[in-house]
Structure 1
């Protein structure tokens, strides 16, 4: 089955049940997960990507395009994630940040440089390869972070409230860009948010956690 399948996922903190979900996210679809702080939204993403903290236990299976990824290290799951903070590497240029994500199968300096330049064109930042990330605006950083994640060729995308620190106008622009790129690539998306407007913009199903 294509897409992201969270099959009978149950997460507990110690002896306390925290989350129980059983959902399928189709390619190009955005599933929004809403709930108050402490309800387990980010914990669910951590379980999907393989970074569940000590003290938590999970049962069930995570399947991606029919492949069981439960138990695999995060780097082998082919799942990308965007956070509230862009987390660009400050010691690398914008182009260096993007090149870091390129698959090893893309060989040759010329080919890799061309792929970075094409990626910058795609997000409306041509000629930015040599720029220091510290000189970018919030919207520019968000676009670079998105493209860096996409260049790693993920098969699913997790969004951990990545729009929450953007102002209203910029939020609408970046949100539309992220959802459009995910649809274009047929990526199932799991969006964690406390903002109903994010879920409405996503246009997909919504599930709630906690009270």
Structure 2
């Protein structure tokens, strides 16, 4: 448990990211468990670069400083696999050689060793997101909305500390976009996950609620 006030959730402490002489990110923020901070900006403004820094896979062409903490634990010195940052991208990125159930089970932490238990966990989360009975399906047979749900299920079973959203709704049609926004934010809230959403779509920010930081505006944000 965090031992100081305000340590729970996600905290960005004086995070600055530069590319050559250009400052892309200059941000301090706190995102409480179950809340969302939206970072907005046009393509190329540094939104995905911020997520890469938090997730631990920032391209060495960028220079970054500042600390990232989750529940009071500094993530900055940890390898990506130890940061436990769940990430949803624009594309679901499902493994084509695995079934839907295998895709989900792949993300279950290694301490769950028994195959039967992993299958049970995968089937349960699929049922919760209205994909009951889909475990044996080939991902290629799924609709775009179904693939997005499987990607979300895979993130949720990984037991993340936080959720990073890299415009995951942008390739869905309007109806599916609204459904996935609701599903993602409800699930994150119920799991107590702090969420960082990057987008250029004001409707995403409105659906997320919480604070909005627009790139190019220096300052702090709380959600």
TM range (shorter): over 0.9
Alignment of 1:3 onto 2:3: no
Q: How does 1:86-101 map to 2 (within 5 A)?
A: 86-101=92-107
> What's the TM-score, normalizing by structure 1?
0.98
Q: 1:208 aligns with which of 211, 214, 218?
A: 214
> What's the TM-score, normalizing by structure 2?
0.92
**In 2: Cα distance, 1:114 partner to 1:38 partner:** 41
Q: How many residues align?
A: 211
**CA deviation after TM superposition for structure 1 residue 115, in Å:** 1.0
**In 2: Cα distance, 1:103 partner to 1:25 partner:** 25
Q: What is aligned with 1:108?
A: 114
Q: What is aligned with 1:42?
A: 48
SS in 2 for 1:129: coil
Q: 1:64 aligns with which of 70, 73, 79?
A: 70
Q: 1:131 aligns with which of 137, 147, 170?
A: 137
SS in 2 for 1:87: coil
**CA deviation after TM superposition for structure 1 residue 36, in Å:** 1.3
**CA deviation after TM superposition for structure 1 residue 71, in Å:** 2.1
What 5-or-longer segments of structure 2 have no aligned partner? 1-6, 218-223
SS in 2 for 1:159: strand
SS in 2 for 1:86: coil
Deviation digits for residues 33-82 of structure 1, max 9, x if unmatched? 00111111111111111111121011110001000010211111011110
**In 1: Cα distance, 2:120 partner to 2:102 partner:** 13
**In 2: Cα distance, 1:191 partner to 1:109 partner:** 33
**In 2: Cα distance, 1:129 partner to 1:207 partner:** 39
**In 2: Cα distance, 1:73 partner to 1:108 partner:** 26
